[in-house]
Amino acid sequence: MTCQYSLLQQEALLHIEGPDSLTFLQGQTTCDTRNLDPERALTGIYCTPQGRVVCDFLLSQLAEDHYALRMRRNIRASSSATFGKYIIFSKAELDDQRDDWQVVACWGPGAAPVLCEIFGIAPTTRFGACAGDDFVLVQVDEGGQQFECYLD
C-alpha cells in the first residue's frame, strides 16, 4: 500500500485560544461548535453581518481551549482582522502570526496505516480527528484515504 504527502504551503492555521473561544465562534460562524471535540473537526464559513463570506475553514481542537481554523494562507490576516473586531468582547485571543504548526496532506490507499505507524493512531470517519502533544490528524474523505495533518 502506498501513500503520498505534501506540505500545503498555501494553507495556514488561524489560532484561537481562551475559555470563550468556542462561544465566540458559535456566535460568529455557520458551524455548531457544540459538536466540536478532540475527535471531530468541523467545516464552517464566517460571514459579515451583511452575509458576505469572509472565509471558509476547517475547525479543529489542538489542545484544551486552543483551536485552529485551517484556511488559505492568503486570507488568514484579513480573516483575523475581521474576527478581531468582535473577539475583544470575549475571553479569547486570535493569533495569525504563528507558523510553528504546519499543514500537511497525506493521501492514498496506505495513508491510514502509515499514519498509524507514525503517530500510533489515525481517524476512521470523515472529519474524524485525533490528536497528540504535537499533532492533529483529520480524515477529510469518506474512504479513509485523505488526511490533513497539523504538525507542531
Summarize pLDDT for 135-145 with one digit per residue, the tens.
999 999 999 99
For the residues 55-80, what does the mean pLDDT come to? 97
3-state SS of 93-123 is: EEECCCCCCEEEEEECCCHHHHHHHHHCCCC
Nearest Cα residue to 36 out of 47, 22, 46: 22
Mark out the alpha helices in 1-152 (DSSP H runs): 21-28, 73-87, 111-119
Contacts of 29 (CB under 8 A, 6+ apart): 44, 45, 46, 57, 59
- Predicted pLDDT at 1: 66
Give yes or no for residue 51 having a pLDDT over 90: no
Nearest Cα residue to 126 out of 111, 110, 143, 101: 143
Domains of the chain, by residue range, sit at 10-95, 100-151
Contacts of 64 (CB under 8 A, 6+ apart): none
- Predicted pLDDT at 27: 87
- Find residue 45's DSSP bridge partners: 56
48, three cell numbers: 459579515
Q: Residues 86, 24: contact at Cβ < 8 Å? A: yes
Say how many CA atoms lie within 13 Å of 117 toward its Cβ: 6
Q: Residues 18, 91: contact at Cβ < 8 Å? A: yes
Dump pLDDT digits (tens) for 52-65: 999 999 999 999 99
pTM beyond 0.75: the answer is yes
Dump pLDDT digits (tens) for 98-125: 999 999 999 999 999 999 999 999 999 9
CATH class, 10-95 region? alpha beta
Dump pLDDT digits (tens) for 2-28: 899 999 999 999 999 999 999 999 988
